[in-house]
Amino acid sequence: MTTATVPSTSSTAAPAARRRGVAASAVHYASHTALLTIKNFSFVIFTVIMPVSLYLVFSSLYGNQPDDPTGIASKMIMVSMAAYGSLGAAMSGGAQLAVERRSGWFRQLMITTLPGRVFLWSRAAVIMMLVLPALALVFAAGALLGGVQASAGQWLGSLGLLWLGLIPMTALGIVIGLWVKTEAVQGVNTLLLLGLSLLGGLWFPAELMPSGMQVVAHALPTYWLAELGRYPFLPGETFPWAGVGVLLAWSVGLTVLGALGYRRAAATSKR
């Protein structure tokens, strides 16, 4: 006669306890990081004030076109400036990792229950949460000061698509913070921000670029970030599924680089 083997309570409870421990560590780390980031006055100013200021300047210069009774130009400028401003905020959000890496904080993380992938997700979630108010403020400025008129669905659709489109750019900021030396992080961030914005058509339409540069633009996440944000304001346009594929490809590639960077940073972090 054979007897059934009953799994012990301890063996089944251990994985659940570990999962709860990882979840608690992730929440604690995300909350701690968000609090420190909010206390960073310069980051808050850059995240909130800069995008709105850029929109107001560009809108006053180019938004009110007499041959544009539908106000489409104002909407496109609003989306471009929201994308540009939030792009800088998303990338800068990862810059603090370079400081943490040099301080030895990563070695402390290694002795916790926080896996590398959960660390990356938690950090990205914090940055995404902090970028969302900046996007909303640019849209509020467009409605209240820029004269942009649209349906509730268009406002929410554009805001949501822009926000989701920032995922690879958030990952890019984390990669820079993990791989680049602390002294060079700000310079690398600035160069990439300017280059991606210029080549991605955030300053002027990519259609005005030479054909070779247009090919480059279509391979960049910044181009499709703006295209996704513009889509709800352009009735009859086909949804840019190709852009979703480009953004996903960048997100996957940068996530892999981020995971490798985390392991490297944890192994080389000072005590």
Q: Is residue 228 part of a domain?
A: yes
Q: Specify the 3-state DSSP secondary structure of 8.
A: coil
Query: What's the rounded Cα separation, in Å, for the pair 182 and 96?
Result: 9
Predicted confidence (pLDDT) at residue 248 exceeds the cutoff of 60: yes
The predicted structure's pLDDT at residue 56: 82
Q: Is residue 233 part of a domain?
A: yes
**pLDDT tens digits along 28-51:** 666 656 666 666 666 667 667 777
Residue with tokens 């108010």: 133
Q: Is residue 111 part of a domain?
A: yes
When the pLDDT of each residue in the chain is averaged and rounded to a whole number, the result is 80
**pLDDT tens digits along 57-66:** 877 776 666 5
Between 102 and 195, the more confident residue is 195
The predicted structure's pLDDT at residue 183: 85
Query: What's the rounded Cα separation, in Å, for the pair 214 and 208?
Result: 8
Q: Is residue 165 part of a domain?
A: yes
Mean pLDDT of all residues in 180-196: 89
Taking alpha carbons only, the member of 210, 239, 208 closest to residue 224 is 239
Mean pLDDT of all residues in 238-267: 90
Q: Specify the 3-state DSSP secondary structure of 219.
A: coil
Q: Residue 100 in contact with residue 179, Cβ under 8 Å?
A: no
Structural domain count of the chain: 1
Q: Residue 90 in contact with residue 34, Cβ under 8 Å?
A: no
The predicted structure's pLDDT at residue 199: 93
Q: Is residue 159 part of a domain?
A: yes
Between 271 and 128, the more confident residue is 128
255, amino acid identity: T
Predicted confidence (pLDDT) at residue 246 exceeds the cutoff of 90: yes
Range of the domain at 111: 22-268
Q: Read off the tokens for 268.
A: 């080389």
Q: For residue 2, what pLDDT band results from cuts at 50, 70 and 90? A: low
Predicted confidence (pLDDT) at residue 225 exceeds the cutoff of 80: yes
Q: Is residue 184 part of a domain?
A: yes
The predicted structure's pLDDT at residue 26: 60
Q: Over pLDDT 90: what percentage of the chain?
A: 30
Q: Is residue 10 part of a domain?
A: no
Predicted confidence (pLDDT) at residue 240 exceeds the cutoff of 60: yes
Residues 6+ apart with CB under 8 A from 137: 48, 51, 52
Q: Is residue 248 part of a domain?
A: yes
Between 156 and 262, the more confident residue is 156
**pLDDT tens digits along 109-163:** 666 666 666 777 778 888 888 788 888 889 999 999 888 889 999 999 999 999 9
Predicted confidence (pLDDT) at residue 71 exceeds the cutoff of 80: no
